[in-house]
A = this chain, B = another copy of it.
Amino acid sequence: MPSSMTDPAGPRATPTPPTSAAVARRAGVSRATVSYVLNGQAAGRVGERTQAKVRAAAEELGYVPHAAARSLRAGRGSIVLLAAPADTAPAFGSLFTSFLAGFQTALHGLGYTVVLHGAPAAAPLAAARAWAELRPAAVLTLDAPPPDAAAVALLRRSGTAAVLTHGPPAAPGAHTLLLDQHEAGRAAGAHLLARGRRRIGVIRPAEPGLARFADPRLAGVRSAAAAHPDAVVRPLDLALTEHSAAQLAAAWPDLGLDAVFAYNDEYAMLLMRALQDAGHALGTAPDGIGVVGADDLLLGRLLRPRLTTVRAEIIPPERIAALVDRLIRTPDTAPAAHRLGTFAVVARDSG
């Protein structure tokens, strides 16, 4: 049976993938020469004819260098590890997806490989150990709780040049990418107060992963209200279901509130529908309930009244990628906080 015969089941997994040694053998040169040619270090060292032979041999064999072997030898890897457990992703929502895509592409352009690690949030130290096995150049956690001092120390000692967390809070020894949710609440609260609202409800989503964002937002509203002696702030629990929203709407008259900060645009839409179905007026209508969402989704502009919302102005993922790259190159940079963005109110008709 001729070896050139095609396997009808398609290409099979070769027991041993081609190595640079195989290329060298086929081209009749040494492994060193192969390395020089294939890494562009051949100028003035290897003859033209030899280079051509090497390239041809590599091509014919379908040779692809082995990244692990290379970085083992080089002593430094090019992995940027993104730690984002399963229950975090929904919390970040569609913003997360698009951020991830841009961030990933930017890092790729800088020569890094992004590894997504969805460790089921175990003990911080155990998680850090699992990450450290990959010898990442940088670790970026979107996780809560953030790594503690011991976890950061373990990573640093195992060669991780930069550890970044998404905060607040700040993790000791790590850089912090700061997006202050408190500020979102403060902006929403200040806006409603300036519009004359004084009895403000604040939605606390029932989804557990969101408490991390919701609590500081509530505190932000409270801090805005502190300037007005007659202002009242009241937390309201709400799950992302029609049933939960109907319950809240039914209880509304007893709450005596004139406005609500709905955590985000989706909760806002859900609540607005339930309030309207229960016969309440919204926005600037007489006795209308003021509603403010967050995230500035398209749907907010399609609602009636149009939804006032708090928008996060996030710095572009390319800049964050560049920051990570810089921190990797200067591993001894003192840990600091880096502002990820700010919040601004987009005023429409609902509040």
Residues of A with Cβ closer than 8 Å to B? 9-14, 17-18, 62, 64-69, 71-72, 77, 82, 84-87, 89-90, 93-94, 96-98, 100-102, 104-105, 108, 113-120, 129, 132-135, 152-154, 156-161, 172-173, 240, 242, 266, 269-270, 273, 298-299, 301-302, 331-332, 334-335
9 A-B residue pairings within 8 Å (CB atoms): A11-B156, A17-B157, A66-B133, A67-B133, A68-B72, A86-B101, A93-B94, A97-B97, A242-B302
Q: Which chain B residues lie closer than 8 Å to A64 at the CB level? A: 129, 132-133, 154, 158
A298 touches B240 (CB 8 A): yes
Give Cα A177–Cα B347 distance, bound, in whole angstroms.
45
Count identical subunits in the complex. Answer: 2
Q: Which chain B residues lie closer than 8 Å to A157 at the CB level? A: 11, 13-14, 17-18, 62
Q: Which B residue's beta carbon lies closest to that of A150?
A: B62
With A67-B133, A302-B273 in contact, is A108–B101 under 8 Å at CB?
A: no
Q: Which chain B residues lie closer than 8 Å to A104 at the CB level? A: 86, 116, 118
B105 touches A86 (CB 8 A): yes
A158 touches B115 (CB 8 A): no
B115 touches A119 (CB 8 A): no
A97 touches B101 (CB 8 A): no
Q: Which chain B residues lie closer than 8 Å to A158 at the CB level? A: 17-18, 62, 64
A10 in complex: contacting residue of B14, B85, B152, CB < 8 Å: B152
With A9-B332, A10-B335, A71-B68 in contact, is A114–B113 under 8 Å at CB?
A: no
Give Cα A160–Cα B66 distance, bound, in whole angstroms.
12
Q: Which chain B residues lie closer than 8 Å to A68 at the CB level? A: 68-69, 71-72, 77, 134-135
Chain A interface main SS type: mixed
Q: Which chain B residues lie closer than 8 Å to A72 at the CB level? A: 66, 68-69, 72
Q: Which B residue's beta carbon lies closest to that of A99?
A: B89
A13 touches B331 (CB 8 A): yes
How far, in Å, is A28 (CB) from chain B's closest CB? 22
How far, in Å, is A295 (CB) from chain B's closest CB? 13
A89 in complex: contacting residue of B11, B71, B101, B119, CB < 8 Å: B101
A11 touches B152 (CB 8 A): yes
Give Cα A273–Cα B305 distance, bound, in whole angstroms.
12
How far, in Å, is A148 (CB) from chain B's closest CB? 12
A332 touches B13 (CB 8 A): yes
A266 in complex: contacting residue of B69, B116, B298, CB < 8 Å: B298
A159 touches B14 (CB 8 A): yes
How far, in Å, is A178 (CB) from chain B's closest CB? 18
A89 touches B100 (CB 8 A): yes
Give Cα A152–Cα B66 distance, bound, in whole angstroms.
17
Give Cα A117–Cα B69 distance, bound, in whole angstroms.
19
Q: Which B residue's beta carbon lies closest to that of A15?
A: B159
Q: Which chain B residues lie closer than 8 Å to A71 at the CB level? A: 68
Given A68-B134, A116-B116, A242-B302, 13 extra CB contacts under 8 A = A10-B334, A13-B157, A14-B159, A17-B135, A62-B154, A64-B133, A66-B72, A67-B135, A94-B97, A108-B118, A114-B115, A269-B299, A270-B298
